[in-house]
Amino acid sequence: MGEKRIIYMDHSATTYVRKEVVEAMAPYYTEHFGNPSSIYSIARESKQAIDTARAQVAKVLGAEPDEIYFTSGGSESDNWAIKGIASANIRKGSHIITSKIEHHAVLHTFGYLEKQGFTVTYLPVDRFGLVDPSELEKAITDKTILISIMYANNEIGTIEPIAELGAIARNHKIPFHTDAVQAVGNVPIDVKAQNIDLLSLSAHKFYGPKGVGVLYIRKGIKIDNLIHGGGQERRHRAGTENIAGIVGLGKAIELATADIEGHNKKIRALRDRLMSGILAKIPDCRLNGHPEKRLPGNINISFEFIEGESMLLWLDDEGICASTGSACTSGSLEPSHVLLATGLPVEISHGSLRLTLGNINTDADVDFVLEVLPKVVSRLRDMSPLYQGKKEGAK
Amino acid sequence: MYSDKVMDHFKNPRNVGEIDNADGIGEVGNPVCGDIMKIFLKIENNIVTEAKFKTFGCGAAIASSSMATELVRGKTLEEAWEVSNKAVAEALEGLPPIKMHCSVLAEEGIHKAINDYRKKQGLEPWVEKNPHSHEHDEGTCQS
């Protein structure tokens, strides 16, 4: 028996690390391992490597290198941006705004601040997952000190009108943060043109290593530190630098953004064929998210009468890696807050499937999923009491 | 995450389907909570001669339905009533803690089907000895 074929369609969860990135990182584990804070010359190599990575990130975002701070990843960046802005501006007010569909790194941080006494507005989204800028405008008060809206949603792939939302925040002189963890490499980002004051990103979503991310902080923004200690990152983020990780992030972001249009064209072609194939082949299913304003690799479809986890188990059996918004895989008993916020009924949210395509996917992968998925859905529907009810109802 | 036994009963579920003119039918769960189980029993001379199921739910829910129908087959109604959720979970070589409610659902489904039969026979339904706080019918999904 040959090795089981694996079809990885969960790139929004994480990606593999590109070979070139691993190669760029390796010397910083074995040769240039010096602590950048040290005085001897091998430490200088480390210091220079970090400066290079900082410049690579700044260039991609349209920022200045001294506006880039390295962190341990997206969750830390989100926590720092939100808690740091909240505590630094508490005298001005205690109202903060976000959306109902944020990643938990944002949502739970807002929940934490709410317990600390902050007032939070969770902006609704429409059925496609879009935040309405006029809703943001209405929510702002003279006590508002922070607005945080994600760039692109990790579950349904919806891309938010960031420049417009940022312009509203800027107009009211309120710091605007965006969690761009899913956006980098898929959408061109320009922090200046898009009125972004703070932006979080994470290397492992664009073929870089895990455990390293960035918080962009626009010059002049008043923010407290999150990690206290040594004087690293210009006294704003303590802790000995993850040099190899930072080098990897720099290399990965450079490669991921070298040809965003070309990348999107390729991924979108595969995605569209898979998406329309599923919708055409399988009855009683619906697309979640926006038909056009969505990440190029994202597919999120709900299948009626069946539950997501059992779908994932069967797909895994065929070597297909995917994810679901069903409660049954999340460790909680509630289905995806994102799907519920778009107005999808709870019972249908349980039957959602997310496939996120990336660099390693091929036309053969799409063909295989199109062959396997309809069988999985029909096998589960055959044993579902809801499906039987539907058939009888249709008679 | 799941034991081999759970995966076996998930991938090769025993007793899937319906029984025409079943003597007892029990439906438990709620689509809002992500699981519904429908149990069908054929009963002759106080013995469960056939048990089948239809389930909407996760891997553990399907495996629990399959195992529960296996466990009650051939048993007297009294014996079948005693098949507990723990017995289902143990026969499956364990379930993750968050999935224990799937075995509870299976026990409840069997009980409901047995009582459906008893009611049809003009008999008093049996009372749950250890009512579970499974509140599917009251809008929450905790078990």
Model pLDDT for residues A269-325, shown as the tens digit of each residue = 999 999 999 999 999 999 999 999 999 999 999 999 999 999 999 999 999 999 997
Exposed, middle or buried, B138 (CB in 10 Å: 0-12/13-18/19+)? Answer: exposed
- Our CA-based measurement puts residue A336 at a distance from the nearest CA of chain B, in whole angstroms, of 12
Q: Which two tokens stand for residue A94?
A: 């205690």
CA-closest candidate to residue A10, choices A266, A316, A269, A276: A316
Q: What rounded mean pLDDT belongs to chain B?
A: 91
| DSSP state letter for A329 | G
CB A372 within 8 A of CB A320: yes
Instruction: Please give the pLDDT value at position B8.
Output: 97
Q: Which residue of A has its CA nearest to B31?
A: A347
Instruction: Please give the pLDDT value at position B129.
Output: 74
Query: At the topology level of CATH, where does A259-394 sit?
Result: Aspartate Aminotransferase, domain 1 (3.90.1150)
Interchain pair B7, A334: CB under 8 A: no
Query: At the topology level of CATH, where does A19-256 sit?
Result: Aspartate Aminotransferase; domain 2 (3.40.640)
Instruction: List the single residue in A310, A334, A384 with the smallest CB-CB distance to B59.
Output: A310
Query: At the topology level of CATH, where does B4-119 sit?
Result: Sufe protein. Chain: A (3.90.1010)
Amino acid at A112: Y
Ranges of each domain in chain B: 4-119
Chain B residues near residue A388 by CB distance under 8 angstroms: 18, 54
Instruction: Please give the pLDDT value at position A330.
Output: 57
Q: Which two tokens stand for residue A285?
A: 């299913």
By annotation, the residues of A acting in catalysis are 328
Interchain pair B55, A313: CB under 8 A: no
Query: Whole-prediction pTM value?
Result: 0.93
Instruction: List the single residue in A306, A331, A333 with the smallest CB-CB distance to B56.
Output: A306
CB A199 within 8 A of CB A160: no
pLDDT tens, position by position, A86-117: 999 999 999 999 999 999 999 999 999 999 99
Chain B residues near residue A329 by CB distance under 8 angstroms: 58
Whole-angstrom Cα distance, residue A179 to residue A201?
Answer: 7
Exposed, middle or buried, A351 (CB in 10 Å: 0-12/13-18/19+)? Answer: buried
By annotation, the residues of B acting in catalysis are 33, 102
Interchain pair A328, B58: CB under 8 A: yes
| DSSP state letter for A239 | S
Instruction: List the single residue in B7, B32, B58 with the smallest CB-CB distance to A309.
Output: B58
The rounded radius of gyration (Å) of the Cα atoms in chain B is 14
Q: Which residue of B has its CA nearest to A331?
A: B98
Whole-angstrom Cα distance, residue A183 to residue A150?
Answer: 9
Whole-angstrom Cα distance, residue A3 to residue A218?
Answer: 49
pLDDT tens, position by position, B89-137: 999 999 999 899 999 999 999 999 999 999 999 999 999 876 665 444 4
ipTM: 0.91
Ranges of each domain in chain A: 19-256, 259-394
pLDDT tens, position by position, A344-386: 999 899 999 999 999 999 999 999 999 999 999 999 999 999 9
pLDDT tens, position by position, A320-349: 999 997 766 555 667 899 999 999 999 899
Chain A residues near residue B54 by CB distance under 8 angstroms: 383-385, 388
Q: CA dihedral defined by A261, A263, A265, A270, rounded to 10 degrees?
A: -160
Q: What rounded mean pLDDT belongs to chain A?
A: 95
Terminal-residue alpha carbon distance, chain B: 20
Report the DSSP pairing between strands A320-321 and A7-8: parallel
Which stretches within chain A are classed as H helix? 19-25, 27-30, 41-61, 74-88, 104-115, 133-139, 162-171, 232-235, 243-256, 260-281, 308-317, 337-341, 346-349, 363-382, 385-394
3 state SS for B96-108: CHHHHHHHHHHHH
Report the DSSP pairing between strands A119-123 and A144-148: unpaired
Q: Which residue of A has its CA nearest to B143?
A: A333
